[in-house]
């Protein structure tokens, strides 16, 4: 049981796909200006990673190794289309905000990375948990970044005003830089900084 | 006399061992007495860096180089920084007066010189205090956590930050920008001497993109501007398509609205002369920045497609923060290239880009900040290419030499 727990908990911390493996940065910059799209994006990627890991792991013994990338892509593409259709049907406004980035989940390095690194060599249940864990690790960072960007950039959370009007009357202003993609990179950088200070074993030793 | 001199050295040697002679000043004695509390194992060892900072502020540090044979330049970081601070003084004083002058010009009141200075001081002094307090507090905290010495680099940065901001900037924004510049621009890379981009310009760029309404337009350049009037800078006028500029002479002596330190070119040139005489700033960078801007200005004059392009090229040197950036920002020894050829390339490109951004991109009225930041990022690459080219050339020479000798 502890093994399964490890598969889910570790990607949230010491093997986090964004802050440790530094994968999936592009979508992290693109969809985190607001909390809601970031959360939906996180859930979508989690679903795709978990189920593609599961499916590929079931098929892993039957896939010829020379064409495995194509097979993986077909599975991932099918799942992404499902997610895309689902979002269009049930949360159309968010789907519109995310626009092309839902389709681009297929190129998300985390998905392919987990398939190659884990699902091709592990049993289905473990692979499913691994996909789930990595998807959640990705979502966690996305939500943290989006929280700060929306709070400081627009003064809202999930679209509701959080910073009271009296602050604005006293001279407070929304930070326009938070809306711009570079700030997402800087926030991710700060998270990495804090994380590596707390876990010195993650620091590169090139001295 | 000679004996006294010798005694002094013997005494200071003994002082290291713990005995104190009478002729050591009271302050030195007091500092030496409390020192054991702050070294490793002392009661306040967690304040070691703070103590060291204040000790070396009062006295010449007693540190010597341990490994290898090295020559220590008498002009250390602290002296360098003090020279830059002195060089900045004319711009600071003029800037403070100009804040008052512009304000009373806008309200159409005629008041005495001292009242203008007083108004400017009331407006500008808090920004200096805030920038120093916030920046130094962060520097001290980081030095303490990392067991470093506190570096003097912030003495200049803390003065530069208010000088590149509009006089009407809210104080909390100064504090936020300073914190951002010191933490993200400097400490994240390892502190003084390790930063990639100029910290003062990082602060300005942060505010420029975060709070554009407080950093651009025609309302922010004059302190407490009366409603229904505007006070655009020459660059602001040009970006809006107007060529109704103040005279070149006015822009040269500085009676125009603008950031605190950038308006008077005379004051900046005084500082530049001091920096060049003392050899602290690189003359190569200064000259090449000017050359780049003049060259680009002349090219635009030849093209002459818009009224902005037809503007006499020397106007670019007199408007906005060009000269301030060329003298105090581009020459920052940490963020500029180290090789002499690299300095020429770096300076020329800063000048070219600054004028190009001003003229071609109306969204950014002032191109100097962006040009310097961009070239800061490229400085290591320029250095790398210059060094690699040099190595290649020498290898080639060595090869041809060996060929001729074998023949």
Percent of residues, chain A, with pLDDT higher than 70: 98
A contact set with B (CB within 8 A): 171-173, 175-178, 180, 186, 189-190, 193
Within 10 Å of residue B17's Cβ, how many Cβ atoms?
7
What would the two tokens of residue B109 be? 């009141």
Going by C-beta distance under 8 Å and a sequence separation of 6 or more, which residues neighbour residue A160?
A: none
| Interface residue of B209, B217, B220, B374 to substitute, partner A, most A CBs within 10 Å | B209
Q: How far apart are CA A83 and CA A106, in angstroms?
A: 11
Q: How far apart are CA B37 and CA B26, in angstroms?
A: 18
pLDDT tens digits, residue range A150-194?
999 888 888 888 888 888 888 888 888 888 888 999 999 999 988
Please report where in the chains the tokens 């679209």 appear, as a residue.
A159
B210 contacts A176? CB cut-off 8 A? yes
The crossing angle, in degrees rounded to 10, of helices A2-9 and A124-154 is 30
As a whole number, the mean pLDDT across chain A is 88
Q: Which helix (H) or strand (E) covers residue A28, if one does?
A: helix A25-30
Phi first, then psi, for residue B261 (nearest 5°) are: -100, -5
Within 10 Å of residue B380's Cβ, how many Cβ atoms?
14
Going by C-beta distance under 8 Å and a sequence separation of 6 or more, which residues neighbour residue B296?
A: B316, B351, B352, B355, B356
What would the two tokens of residue B381 be? 């690459």
Beta bridge partners of A161: A156
Within 10 Å of residue A122's Cβ, how many Cβ atoms?
17
Q: Can you give the residue ranges of every domain in chain B?
A: 15-56, 77-389
User: Do the Cβ atoms of B236 and B218 come closer than 8 Å?
Assistant: yes
Question: Which residues in chain B touch residue A180, judged by CB atoms under 8 angstroms apart?
Answer: 209
Going by C-beta distance under 8 Å and a sequence separation of 6 or more, which residues neighbour residue B261?
A: B88, B91, B92, B95, B160, B162, B163, B164, B268, B324
Beta bridge partners of A157: A160
User: Do the Cβ atoms of A60 and A126 come closer than 8 Å?
Assistant: no
B212 contacts A173? CB cut-off 8 A? no
Helices vs. strands in chain B: H and E counts, helices first: 18, 0
Ranges of chain B whose pLDDT falls below 70: 1-24, 57, 60-65, 72-75, 405-407
Question: In chain B, positions 162-181, which contact chain A (CB-CB < 8 Å)?
Answer: 170, 172
> Would you say residue A127 has pLDDT above 80?
yes
pLDDT tens digits, residue range A130-151?
999 999 999 999 999 999 999 9
> Would you say residue A108 has pLDDT above 50?
yes
Query: Which of A171, A173, A193 is opposite residue B188, by nearest beta carbon?
Result: A193
DSSP codes, B340-367: HHHHHHHHHHHHHHHHHHHHH-TT-S--
> Would you say residue A47 has pLDDT above 90?
yes
The confidence score (pLDDT) of residue B50 equals: 75
Query: Which of A173, A189, A190 is opposite residue B211, by nearest beta carbon?
Result: A173
Q: Where are the alpha helices (DSSP H) in B227-264?
A: 234-239, 248-253
The confidence score (pLDDT) of residue B406 equals: 61
Question: Which residues in chain A touch residue B172, judged by CB atoms under 8 angstroms apart?
Answer: 171-172
A177 contacts B210? CB cut-off 8 A? yes
The confidence score (pLDDT) of residue B72 equals: 67
Bigger pLDDT: B13 or A59?
A: A59
Class of the domain covering B77-389: mainly alpha
Within 10 Å of residue A59's Cβ, how many Cβ atoms?
16
Give me the mean pLDDT over the A17-29 stretch. Answer: 84
Query: Which of B172, B184, B209 is opposite residue A176, by nearest beta carbon?
Result: B209
The confidence score (pLDDT) of residue B24 equals: 63
Q: Can you give the residue ranges of every domain in chain A?
A: 2-146
Q: How far apart are CA B369 and CA B321, in angstroms?
A: 8
Query: Which of A171, A175, A189 is opposite residue B210, by nearest beta carbon?
Result: A175
What would the two tokens of residue A80 be? 């992404």
User: Do the Cβ atoms of B202 and B370 come closer than 8 Å?
Assistant: no
Q: How far apart are CA B239 and CA B250, in angstroms?
A: 19
pTM for this structure?
0.84
Q: How far apart are CA A119 and CA A109, in angstroms?
A: 14
User: Do the Cβ atoms of B132 and B101 come closer than 8 Å?
Assistant: no
């Amino acid at each position: 049981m502890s093994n399964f727990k490890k598969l889910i908990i570790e990607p949230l911390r010491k093997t986090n796909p964004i802050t440790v493996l530094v994968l999936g940065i592009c979508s992290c910059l693109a969809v985190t200006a607001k909390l809601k799209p970031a959360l939906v994006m996180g859930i979508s990627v989690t679903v795709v990673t978990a189920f593609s890991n599961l499916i590929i792991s079931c098929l892993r013994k039957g896939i010829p190794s020379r064409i495995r990338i194509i097979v993986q892509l077909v599975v991932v593409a099918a799942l992404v289309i499902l997610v895309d259709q689902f979002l269009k049907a049930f949360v159309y406004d968010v789907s519109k905000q995310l626009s092309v980035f839902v389709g681009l989940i297929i190129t998300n390095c985390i998905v392919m990375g987990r398939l190659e690194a884990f699902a091709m060599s592990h049993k289905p249940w473990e692979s499913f948990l691994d996909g789930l864990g990595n998807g959640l690790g990705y979502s966690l960072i996305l939500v943290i970044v989006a929280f700060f960007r929306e709070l400081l950039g627009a003064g809202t959370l999930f679209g509701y005003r959080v910073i009271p009007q009296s602050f604005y009357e006293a001279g407070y202003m929304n930070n326009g830089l938070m809306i711009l993609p570079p700030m997402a990179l800087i926030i991710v950088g700060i998270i990495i900084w804090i994380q590596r200070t707390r876990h010195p074993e993650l620091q590169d030793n090139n001295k | 006399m000679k004996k006294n001199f010798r005694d002094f050295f013997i005494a200071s040697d003994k002082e290291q061992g713990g005995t104190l002679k009478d002729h050591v000043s009271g302050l030195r004695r007091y500092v030496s007495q409390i020192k054991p509390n702050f070294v490793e194992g002392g009661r306040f060892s967690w304040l070691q860096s703070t103590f060291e900072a204040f000790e070396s502020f009062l006295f010449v540090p007693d540190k010597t180089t341990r490994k290898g044979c090295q020559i220590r330049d008498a002009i250390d970081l602290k002296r360098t920084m003090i020279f830059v601070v002195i060089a900045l003084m004319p711009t600071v004083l003029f800037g403070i007066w100009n804040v008052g002058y512009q304000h009373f010009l806008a309200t159409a009141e005629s008041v005495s010189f001292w009242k203008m200075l007083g108004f400017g001081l009331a407006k500008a002094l808090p920004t200096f205090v805030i920038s120093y307090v916030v920046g130094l507090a962060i520097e001290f905290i980081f030095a303490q956590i990392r067991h470093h010495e506190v570096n003097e680099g912030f003495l200049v940065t803390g003065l530069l930050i208010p000088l590149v901001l509009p006089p009407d900037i809210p104080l909390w924004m100064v504090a936020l920008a300073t914190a951002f510049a010191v933490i993200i621009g400097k400490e994240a890379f390892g502190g003084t001497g390790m930063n990639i981009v100029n910290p003062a310009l990082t602060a300005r760029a942060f505010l420029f993109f975060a709070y554009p309404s407080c950093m651009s337009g025609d309302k922010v350049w004059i302190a407490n501007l009366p409603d229904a009037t505007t006070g655009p800078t020459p660059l602001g006028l040009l970006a809006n398509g107007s060529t109704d500029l103040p005279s070149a002479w006015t822009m040269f002596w500085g009676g125009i609205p603008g950031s605190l330190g950038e308006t008077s070119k005379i004051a900046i040139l005084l500082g530049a002369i001091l920096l060049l005489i003392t050899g602290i700033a690189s003359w190569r960078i200064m000259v090449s920045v000017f050359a780049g801007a003049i060259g680009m200005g002349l090219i635009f004059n030849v093209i002459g497609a818009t009224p902005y392009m037809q503007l006499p090229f020397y106007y670019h040197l007199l408007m906005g923060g060009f000269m301030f950036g060329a003298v105090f920002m581009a020459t920052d020894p940490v963020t500029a290239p180290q090789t002499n050829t690299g300095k020429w390339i770096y300076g020329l490109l800063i000048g070219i880009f600054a004028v190009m951004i001003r003229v071609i991109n109306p969204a950014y009225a002032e191109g100097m900040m962006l040009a310097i930041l961009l070239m800061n990022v490229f400085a290591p690459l320029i250095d790398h290419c210059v060094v690699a080219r040099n190595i290649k050339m020498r290898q080639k020479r060595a090869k041809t030499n060996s060929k001729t000798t074998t023949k």
